[in-house]
Structure 1
Amino acid sequence: MSGLLNNLVIVAVVVMVLVRQFQAQRVSADNKKWWLVPVVLTVMAVRDPGLLDPAHHSVSAALLAVGLLLGLAGGAAWAWTSRMWTDAEGAVWTKGGWATAGVWLGSMALRLGLYGIAALMGVHQGAPATMLSVAAMLLTRTGVTVWRAQSLGPTYRVPVAG
């Protein structure tokens, strides 16, 4: 797949996720589509021959692993900075705020720093590495959010049955 198309996919996913992040969303453990975007990103990344730099295979793989760890950490931080609450029916909702925006900006800065380190070492990292990092971030965010949602009780008083 062309580098331009890969970059457009990454930008589209990030814009879609960011726009949705600042709108209240219902958290549902039985949502069957939560894994779709991360799987598509992963498949696109793994199919791309530019995932690892053939001239620097070991260093490229190490930088890819660091990128995945950054994605996992960013996803966990994203989930922990999102505000969560329950409504009158007991449904859990989440919405990102300024701290969440800071996590996104910090994650992007770290990703760019990783690209810079790779460039200084003469290692090529392309869009596929970013796709895997974003996929890890989305999967981690969803997992931590669902885990956090399970511990929330209703925010209203429940009368005692008597």
Structure 2
Amino acid sequence: MSGLTNALVIAAVAAVVITRQFSARRIGSDRRWWIVPAVLAVVALREPGLIDPHHQVESSLLLGTELVTALAIGAGWAWTTRIWTEPDGSAWSRSTKASGAVWIAGICLRLGLFGIGAQLGVHQNSSAVMLGLAATLLVRSGLLTWRAQSLEPAAAGQAPAYGDGVRRVLRKERL
């Protein structure tokens, strides 16, 4: 794919993912949460030029920093997402304002990395950003699935909660 096509794919995936996450979404119990990040990673790794051949050390350091940043953004996004269970036991999630702040900080960090690469004269390909987006989505989805699984037993009634079965007596207040 060309650089423009990669940029459009990255922008489209990011826009869809971000807008979907700020509305309440059911966390599926299926095991396919890793497919979209895997496809993005495969597309990114197939592209030549992930590492600039003229600046291999600098390019590798920038790519490594991009991936560490992406992992941190994914973890931050997952931990700032609100998760709850409905009475039927299904787990739901919705990103919060803090999640939006994590995204904004991540975009600023990535722009800073791009600026550093430009100052060093490193040719930067959009496949590095696509690989970073794949890492962000993989970490976020994995952590959300893990967090949702920790909520499911209590919601499904498999483990009793403190106070279950205790009759509550409501009393009138006297004036």
TM-score (norm: length of structure 1): 0.91
> In the aligned structure 2, how far is the partner of 1:94 from the partner of 1:23?
8
> In the aligned structure 2, how far is the partner of 1:105 from the partner of 1:22?
14
CA RMSD, 1 decimal: 1.8
Aligned 1:32-111 pairs, distance under 5 A: 32=32, 34-111=33-110
> In the aligned structure 2, how far is the partner of 1:132 from the partner of 1:10?
10
- Per the alignment, residue 154 of structure 1 pairs with 155
Amino acid at match of 1:104: W
TM-score (norm: length of structure 2): 0.85
> In the aligned structure 1, how far is the partner of 2:108 from the partner of 2:86?
35
Unaligned 5+ runs, structure 1: none
Shift in Å, 1:148: 1.3
Unaligned 5+ runs, structure 2: 166-175
Shift in Å, 1:29: 3.5
How much identity, in percent, do the aligned residues show?
50
Shift in Å, 1:154: 3.1
- Per the alignment, residue 6 of structure 1 pairs with 6
**Contact 2:82/2:96, CA 8 A, preserved across alignment:** yes
> Counterpart of 2:155 in 1: which secondary structure?
coil
> In the aligned structure 2, how far is the partner of 1:104 from the partner of 1:155?
33
Deviation track 1:8-60 (CA, whole Å, cap 9, x = no partner) reads 0000000010110111111124242x222212211111111121111011211
Q: Which is greater in Rg?
A: 2
**Contact 2:44/2:131, CA 8 A, preserved across alignment:** yes
What is the total number of aligned residue pairs between the two structures? 159
**Contact 2:80/2:96, CA 8 A, preserved across alignment:** yes
> In the aligned structure 1, how far is the partner of 2:93 from the partner of 2:156?
14
> Counterpart of 1:54 in 2: which secondary structure?
coil
**Contact 2:50/2:125, CA 8 A, preserved across alignment:** yes
